Structure 1
Amino acid sequence: MSAQQHSINEIEEIELQEWLESLDYVIQSGGPERAKTLLKALQTRAFSEGIQLPFSANTPFINTIHADDQPTYPGSRETERRIKSIIRWNAMAMVVRANKHENGIGGHISTYASAATLYEVGFNHFFRAPSDDFMGDFIFFQGHASPGIYARAFLEGRITANELKQFRHETHPEGGLSSYPHPWLMPHFWQFATVSMGLGPIQAIYQARFMRYLEDRGLKPENNEQVWAFLGDGETDEPEALGAISLAAREKLDNLNFVINCNLQRLDGPVRGNGKIIQELERVFRGAGWNVIKVIWGRDWDQFLAQDKEGLLAKRMMEVVDGDYQNYITRGGAYIRQHFWGKYPQLLKMVEHLSDEQLEKLRLGGHDPEKVYAAY
């Protein structure tokens, strides 16, 4: 590199730092809304000068809700953790027992294992039952997570141990449990049939729409019942899962909530390891007009993001593709230190006080009740 080019690079770096410091000052003195106004004005000026900015419906690969904006988590974290652990154990035991007695019965243990926190925060703090003057919230459960829903119902005393023993034998004379949510076979348990062909998501959209329709015509009281649809990232490959999402935005269905568990698992095809499914889905939903809240990193990561003044950690988080993230989970802390943190010396120094075991146990957002609660 020539001396002249080196000098130009230094000037550009100083210029960039001045712009960033100016933005920091605006945020501190005028707040986020003032910063938005200025950034929008800058974008307009750039367009008027013929500068075409690259369009992206994506936000950085970090949590949408800043740690400082999280509400206080209610209830007992320890009690809830204990309950969740019992439910996960019972779900696993039920499925393993069923397969031990009959080969090939199946059961999808991993789906609920990866989504347990998403469901438990909902059950403990958000889902509301019907009453005399309230219809209750409507929950479209991800079908493959049914073992966990059965295990919770058993803990609540709503189904018996004998029924658990007949998992996936719903026609058994003594009573059994259907493989997936099935209101016809279990009318007193399931509200909606979900699973195949993206039925849950598209049903949820139309359920929310016609609830608003009835309210607007005075045929139903406005009680703010919520519709929740739980689905996996693999399920979004079904055309019906995303086929009506523009309707939800057009009708302004603020009574509708999609919870997408991006656990990088698929039954009908390989995980797209060279992409980022969270970013892919964010583009789809934000482009259709949805409010998207990403929960990626648990509170263990807050300290590092707070130190990330130059955005290097956020850059590294965005660089890594899903296949590499899956690899990190199986290779251990030393591998994570070398291949994730080790790309940039500044990041490596950030975690030098942590052991390999501590690095391996840094919690992700979907397993952190505080992050999930803030998003809900």
Structure 2
Amino acid sequence: MSVAESLVEGAPLAELSRRARWHVINTVASSKAGHIGGPLSAMDLLVALYFRRLRIDPAAPDDPDRDRFILSKGHSAIGLYSVLALRGYFPETELATFDHGDSRLQGHPDMLITPGVDSSTGSLGQGLSSGAGMALAAKRLGKDFHTWVMVGDGEIEEGMVWETVISAPRFGLDNLTLIVDLNGLQQYGWPAAPGDRFDRSEPMGHVDLQKVFTGFGWNVLTIDGHDFDAILTAYADADARRGATGVPTVIIAKTTKGEGVSFTRGTYKWHNGVATPEQLEIARRDLATAEGER
């Protein structure tokens, strides 16, 4: 049995998240480039989705009836790749090729070369529109697959996101779920103000997103994005509404940028960065992961 298979066989989600977080920081350090904060904040959401909710088969990544997932914040690709590797889409050892010229694992997801990637992303703000198109196509074709899209809270400053937020309820896209990784930091931003969680002002920290999405006609679920029970409950709720309500769902997941590693947690400068050998030792201890498990 491979490592990926043994992990799928009932492994605790927290264990999978720790392992995937180690892959993120270790792989970026090895490749000398990549993003850290966003992949780490999204990791619990990704692991829960891929290991407990999505109807997918790594042996048949192009199954027309599979659920779809779009990582709209494509700069967090190494987080997605780490989960795809653990899920069995390709060997964990392939992560070492991340961002190399001839690799299937580029700095942003590429649906043409990477197994398990449903949409090429990187230009921020476009993923929700693609997801809405997939959800609408499913409706028109009589398919019951569910399309999930993840955006960042900095990303939703893009106007294209809101054009889709407005239109999705008009099309009755109850087979579309948006996950907002509300990690409170972006690469650049205003200085922190009273009420902000971290060392820069939160991109959407002063906006009542629940009221905004509700006003546009969405079903809104607000959760702790690092609480697996809350995550799984929200995913089940969103799935139960598919094909039954005519209303799209948004999960506003309050997370921490750089979660899981002490020196990256809640620090805007670790939006990206390359850990030193000394920092990797700290990360290994934080994640209780042995380097030999790579």
Same fold? TM cut 0.5: yes
Q: Is the partner of 2:121 in helix, strand or coil?
A: coil
Q: CA deviation at 1:245?
A: 1.2
Q: CA deviation at 1:156?
A: 4.2
In the superposition, relative to structure 1, how do residues 225 and 283 fare at CA in structure 2: closer, same or farther (>3 Å)? same
In the alignment, structure 1 residue 210 sits paired with structure 2 residue 137: yes
> TM-score, normalising length from structure 1?
0.52
Q: CA deviation at 1:287?
A: 1.2
Number of residue pairs matched by the alignment:
215
Tell me which residue corresponds to 1:369: 228
Tell me which residue corresponds to 2:211: 283
* Contact 2:125/2:155 (<8 A) preserved: yes
Tell me which residue corresponds to 2:172: 252
Tell me which residue corresponds to 2:243: none
In the alignment, structure 1 residue 139 sits paired with structure 2 residue 69: yes
Which whole-Å deviations, capped at 9, do the CAs of 1:174-200 have from their partners, x for residues lacking one? x3521011123x153422012313111
Structure 1, unpaired ranges of 5+? 1-74, 100-104, 216-221, 296-364
1:227 to 140, 143, 147: 147
> TM-score, normalising length from structure 2?
0.66
Q: Is the partner of 2:212 in helix, strand or coil?
A: helix
Q: Is the partner of 2:219 in helix, strand or coil?
A: coil
Query: Which amino acid in structure 2 is aligned with residue 150 of structure 1?
Result: Y
Q: Is the partner of 1:229 in helix, strand or coil?
A: strand
Query: Which amino acid in structure 1 is aligned with residue 16 of structure 2?
Result: I
Q: CA deviation at 1:268?
A: 4.5
* Contact 2:50/2:87 (<8 A) preserved: no
Q: Give the structure with higher Rg (CA).
A: 1
Tell me which residue corresponds to 1:97: 30
In the alignment, structure 1 residue 85 sits paired with structure 2 residue 18: yes
Tell me which residue corresponds to 2:250: none
Q: CA deviation at 1:213?
A: 2.2
Q: CA deviation at 1:150?
A: 1.7
In the superposition, relative to structure 1, how do residues 273 and 234 fare at CA in structure 2: closer, same or farther (>3 Å)? farther
Counterpart-to-counterpart distance in 2, 1:375 and 1:90: 26
Q: CA deviation at 1:165?
A: 2.3
Query: Which amino acid in structure 2 is aligned with residue 196 of structure 1?
Result: S
Tell me which residue corresponds to 1:270: 190
Q: Is the partner of 2:225 in helix, strand or coil?
A: helix
Query: Which amino acid in structure 2 is aligned with residue 251 of structure 1?
Result: F
In the superposition, relative to structure 1, how do residues 272 and 197 fare at CA in structure 2: closer, same or farther (>3 Å)? farther
Counterpart-to-counterpart distance in 2, 1:293 and 1:149: 23
In the alignment, structure 1 residue 128 sits paired with structure 2 residue 59: no
Q: Is the partner of 2:222 in helix, strand or coil?
A: coil
Bigger fraction of residues in strand: 2
* Contact 2:74/2:124 (<8 A) preserved: no
Q: Is the partner of 1:293 in helix, strand or coil?
A: strand
In the superposition, relative to structure 1, how do residues 161 and 229 fare at CA in structure 2: closer, same or farther (>3 Å)? closer
Work out the percentage of aligned pairs sharing the same amino acid: 27
Counterpart-to-counterpart distance in 2, 1:252 and 1:81: 35
Tell me which residue corresponds to 2:94: 163
Counterpart-to-counterpart distance in 1, 2:220 and 2:148: 14
Q: Is the partner of 1:260 in helix, strand or coil?
A: strand
In the superposition, relative to structure 1, how do residues 136 and 150 fare at CA in structure 2: closer, same or farther (>3 Å)? same
Counterpart-to-counterpart distance in 1, 2:191 and 2:154: 8
Counterpart-to-counterpart distance in 1, 2:111 and 2:148: 17
Query: Which amino acid in structure 1 is aligned with residue 12 of structure 2?
Result: T
In the superposition, relative to structure 1, how do residues 161 and 210 fare at CA in structure 2: closer, same or farther (>3 Å)? closer
Which whole-Å deviations, capped at 9, do the CAs of 1:191-247 have from their partners, x for residues lacking one? 2012313111111112212221232xxxxxx4x210000011101011112222121
* Contact 1:197/1:238 (<8 A) preserved: yes
Tell me which residue corresponds to 1:194: 121
Q: Is the partner of 2:125 in helix, strand or coil?
A: helix
Q: CA deviation at 1:280?
A: 2.8
Cα RMSD after superposing both structures: 2.6
Counterpart-to-counterpart distance in 1, 2:104 and 2:219: 40
In the superposition, relative to structure 1, how do residues 273 and 213 fare at CA in structure 2: closer, same or farther (>3 Å)? farther
Q: CA deviation at 1:254?
A: 0.5
Q: CA deviation at 1:366?
A: 1.1
Structure 2, unpaired ranges of 5+? 1-8, 196-201, 236-294
Q: Is the partner of 1:89 in helix, strand or coil?
A: helix
In the superposition, relative to structure 1, how do residues 241 and 210 fare at CA in structure 2: closer, same or farther (>3 Å)? same
In the alignment, structure 1 residue 118 sits paired with structure 2 residue 51: no
Counterpart-to-counterpart distance in 1, 2:67 and 2:136: 14
Counterpart-to-counterpart distance in 2, 1:156 and 1:289: 34
Counterpart-to-counterpart distance in 1, 2:89 and 2:156: 31
Query: Which amino acid in structure 2 is aligned with residue 165 of structure 1?
Result: A
Q: CA deviation at 1:263?
A: 0.4
* Contact 1:245/1:288 (<8 A) preserved: yes
